[in-house]
Amino acid sequence: MQYKIQGKYFEDWEVGEEFETSRRTITEADAAFFIGLSGDYNPLYIDEEFAKTTDLGTRPPHEFLVYSISSGLINTTTFFDGTLISQKSHKLEFLKRTLNEDTIYVKVKVLEKNNLGKPDLGEVVFDAAILDQNDEVCVKGKRTYLIKKRKPN
Amino acid sequence: MDGKVHVGNNFEDCQVGDEYVTTGRTITTTDVEIYTNYMGDYNPLYTDEEFAKTEVYATRIVPELLIYAISIGQISRMRLFEGTMLGFDKIDIDFIKPSKTGDTITIKGKLIEKKETDRKEQGIVNFNVEVLNQRGEILARSKQWILVCKKTD
């Protein structure tokens, strides 16, 4: 069995190139599931009576759930299937709370490419902003991925 | 029943230099399956053993963001900011080393800075956060900026 690589190689990415992911509505089920997986039982996310006393007035889904879902959305483009070596770094800035039933998508733009002087891999830096149904930026993100280079023929 | 919960540290309670170490958590294949299935992050790096065998790590690795999601949960279990945390402002993460299922992670944190915001009822505490495996090797280095309530008179 041979795996056919669908993703884009380092050479295929161009600085300035942009793409958008498909969208996903964040549900209360997603929020509850993430609490269980991560183990973050802070009342901010799970206690509605407490949350009523906060500025927001309700439980929001976890910030890192929103970020993790954005990663899934990016992956479903298949641009990274078989060519991603690792997710080297992430810089996240939370600008606006995402609430349950908000629909998010990710706008991605290639900021820079670093050759790293290696024969087999290079680094691609993406600006990846998470937007909601009103096209407002909820999370500003910068992702640095290590990506395979094509093998010389 | 009112909105009161166990109260963790307020902004005033935090001192630069404060440190914590969490308990350990072993990352299982179930964690990985739940995470990849739910987020839709089916990159073969995480989900296809036959493909992964031919890659640098020779087996499937744990999704980087899952390691960090679990780290956030481990930190939360210390109840440092229960009822006082308003949310994350920013998170920067550098992944240093890949992780495999069966690895047990612990998290070390150190408060490096306290900042005022433009809202007088809250402040930002900035932690250096390291994720370590069972051999004490650093898997990830990160910084977290957390919004925390100030004391009310």
pLDDT in tens, A24-39: 999 999 999 999 999 9
pLDDT band at A73 (very low <50, low <70, confident <90, very high): very high
Name which of A49, A64, A75 is nearest B41 (Cβ-Cβ): A75
pLDDT band at A151 (very low <50, low <70, confident <90, very high): confident
**Taking 80 as the threshold, does the pLDDT of residue A98 lie above it?**
yes
Q: What is the number of CB-based contacts under 8 A between chain A and chain B?
A: 138
For residues B25 and B37, what is the distance between their CA atoms, to the nearest angstrom? 21
Range of the domain at A81: 14-148
pLDDT band at A44 (very low <50, low <70, confident <90, very high): very high
CB contact under 8 A, A84 and B34: no
For residues B91 and B75, what is the distance between their CA atoms, to the nearest angstrom? 14
Report, at the CATH architecture level, how domain B11-27+62-149 is classified: Roll (3.10)
Name which of A38, A53, A82 is nearest B69 (Cβ-Cβ): A38
> What are the chain A neighbours of B31 within 8 Å (beta carbons)?
37
A17 residue type, one letter: E
Nearest to A124 by CA among A78, A72, A88: A88
The pLDDT, as a whole number, for residue A2 is 67
The pLDDT, as a whole number, for residue B153 is 67
How many C-beta atoms lie closer than 10 Å to residue A115's C-beta? 10
User: What string of pLDDT tens digits covers the 153 residues of chain B?
Assistant: 677 777 899 999 999 999 999 999 999 999 999 999 999 999 999 999 999 999 889 999 999 999 999 999 999 999 999 999 999 999 999 999 999 999 999 999 999 999 999 999 999 999 999 999 999 999 999 999 999 999 986
- SS3 state at B68: helix
Nearest Cα residue in chain B from A61: B87
CA distance B17 to chain A (A): 23
For residues A19 and A146, what is the distance between their CA atoms, to the nearest angstrom? 19
> What are the chain B neighbours of A84 within 8 Å (beta carbons)?
43, 45
Q: State the complex-level ipTM.
A: 0.94
A118 residue type, one letter: K
The pLDDT, as a whole number, for residue B152 is 84
CB contact under 8 A, A50 and B83: yes
Decide if A137 is inside a domain.
Answer: yes
Nearest Cα residue in chain A from B4: A50
CB contact under 8 A, B48 and A71: no
pTM for the model: 0.95
Percent share of chain A, pLDDT over 90: 92
**Taking 80 as the threshold, does the pLDDT of residue A1 lie above it?**
no
Nearest to B105 by CA among B28, B11, B44, B10: B28
CA distance B141 to chain A (A): 10
Decide if A139 is inside a domain.
Answer: yes
DSSP for A48-117, written as a single string: HHHHTTSSS-SPPPPHHHHHHHHHHHHHTT-TTTTTEEEEEEEEEEE-S---TT-EEEEEEEEEEEE-TT
CATH number of residue A62's parent domain? 3.10.129.10
Check if the beta carbon of residue B50 is closer than 8 Å to that of residue A3: yes
Decide if A6 is inside a domain.
Answer: no
Average pLDDT, chain A: 95
The pLDDT, as a whole number, for residue A105 is 98
- Dihedral sign (CA A52, A53, A57, A59): negative
> What are the chain A neighbours of B88 within 8 Å (beta carbons)?
63-64, 92, 94
The pLDDT, as a whole number, for residue A5 is 83
A82: left (phi over 0), alpha (psi -120 to 50) or beta: left
Nearest to A64 by CA among B140, B93, B135, B34: B93
Among all chains, which residue has been given the structure tokens 């050479």? A11
Check if the beta carbon of residue B100 is closer than 8 Å to that of residue B113: no
Check if the beta carbon of residue B70 is closer than 8 Å to that of residue A39: yes
Cβ contacts of residue B41 below 8 Å, gap of 6+?
A68, A71, A72, A75, B35, B63, B65
The pLDDT, as a whole number, for residue B56 is 87
Considering its fold, how many domains does chain A have in total? 1
Which structure tokens are listed for A134? Answer: 């009103």
A115: left (phi over 0), alpha (psi -120 to 50) or beta: alpha
Decide if A7 is inside a domain.
Answer: no
Decide if A83 is inside a domain.
Answer: yes
CB contact under 8 A, B89 and A53: no
- Mutation test of the interface with chain B: which of A24, A44, A48, A142, choosing the one with the most B Cβ atoms within 10 A? A44
Q: What is the DSSP letter of B49?
A: H
**Taking 80 as the threshold, does the pLDDT of residue A3 lie above it?**
no
Decide if A124 is inside a domain.
Answer: yes
